Structure 1
Amino acid sequence: MKTLFKSLLLATSILVSGTAFADPTAFTQAGFDSLQKAGKSILVEVHAPWCPTCRAQAPIVNNLLKKKEFQSITVLRVDFDGQKDVLKTFNVSKQSTLIAFKGSKEVARSTGDTSPKSIEKLLKKAI
């Protein structure tokens, strides 16, 4: 009964909002390389579940990605605690780092930013 209620609640929220946004895709080098090769817009999000700044960034990024102009951006989430090799590749030393790419070119980067306006500026550089 509990599962049925949760399913109905989820379905209702999807119908009300009109859209269901999935969690960001886990970063893999192969996936990233493929997106870059295709010239796609990418946001690499260095995240730690224990990080309050990361938790503050998540709804801001999700809300911005609902805007039509940003729907072409693919978000790849790097696990700060578990993907240390990726952190070295991107020269990242802190969680809550956002890196925007337009194809193979890095176009913007921020760390610890929770301002919707500046995150929006960062995303605009990727499209």
Structure 2
Amino acid sequence: MKLLSHIAVAATFAFAAVAPAHAADFRDFDSNAFAAAQAAGEPVLVDVHAWWCPVCASQSHTIKKLTASPRYDKLVVFRLNYDKQKDDWKRLGVTTQGTLIAYRGQTETGRLAYQTNAAKIEAVLDSAVR
């Protein structure tokens, strides 16, 4: 039994060593927090996400992988729920789930709709942190 517990502990540490750390700050979308981040001049990504959307799932995987890089340590990623926050995404001019919008402060720096290309997603992320 003791051997199994040592194996479990070793496996936990091994997983932690290979799991990517995320430099970005991930939050659920809240219009007040979003406005505060913009007013503070922070780099922001709004991820308009639907749980049932395969494109959204692919985008999320790519965003998590890319934001493991320290160059995104100041990026705030707000996940906006497409099904429950319709007024918010309409206010941002969104027409479909799977939309990514980058801001530096209050200035929109990039937008991508319903795309899974990692290089295009990276370009949108980079536009916010330059």
TM-score exceeds 0.5: yes
Aligned position for 2:99: 97
Aligned position for 1:43: 45
Aligned position for 2:111: 109
- In the alignment, the residues of structure 2 paired with residue 30 and residue 10 of structure 1 have an alpha-carbon distance, to the nearest angstrom, of 37
TM-score normalized by the length of structure 1: 0.85
Question: In the TM superposition, what is the alpha-carbon distance from 1:40 to its structure 2 partner?
Answer: 0.2
- In the alignment, the residues of structure 1 paired with residue 51 and residue 24 of structure 2 have an alpha-carbon distance, to the nearest angstrom, of 16
Q: More displaced, 92-101 or 6-15? A: 6-15
Q: More displaced, 29-38 or 66-75? A: 66-75
Question: In the TM superposition, what is the alpha-carbon distance from 1:87 to its structure 2 partner?
Answer: 1.3
Question: In the TM superposition, what is the alpha-carbon distance from 1:10 to its structure 2 partner?
Answer: 5.7
TM-score normalized by the length of structure 2: 0.84
Q: What is the one-letter code of the residue matched to 1:85? A: D
What's the C-alpha RMSD, in Å, of the aligned pairs?
Answer: 2.4
- In the alignment, the residues of structure 2 paired with residue 23 and residue 7 of structure 1 have an alpha-carbon distance, to the nearest angstrom, of 28
Aligned position for 1:66: 68
Q: What is the one-letter code of the residue matched to 1:40? A: E
Point out the structure with max Rg over C-alpha: 2
Aligned position for 1:29: 31
- In the alignment, the residues of structure 2 paired with residue 22 and residue 8 of structure 1 have an alpha-carbon distance, to the nearest angstrom, of 27
- Whether contact under 8 Å (1:21, 1:62) holds in the other structure is no
Q: How many residues align?
A: 123
Aligned position for 1:85: 87
Q: Which runs of 5+ in 1 are unaligned?
A: 1-5
Q: Which runs of 5+ in 2 are unaligned?
A: 1-7
Q: Compared with structure 1, are the counterparts of its residues 93 and 14 closer, same or farther at alpha carbon in structure 2 (3 Å cutoff)?
A: same
Aligned position for 2:127: 125
Q: What is the one-letter code of the residue matched to 1:50? A: W
- In the alignment, the residues of structure 2 paired with residue 48 and residue 33 of structure 1 have an alpha-carbon distance, to the nearest angstrom, of 22
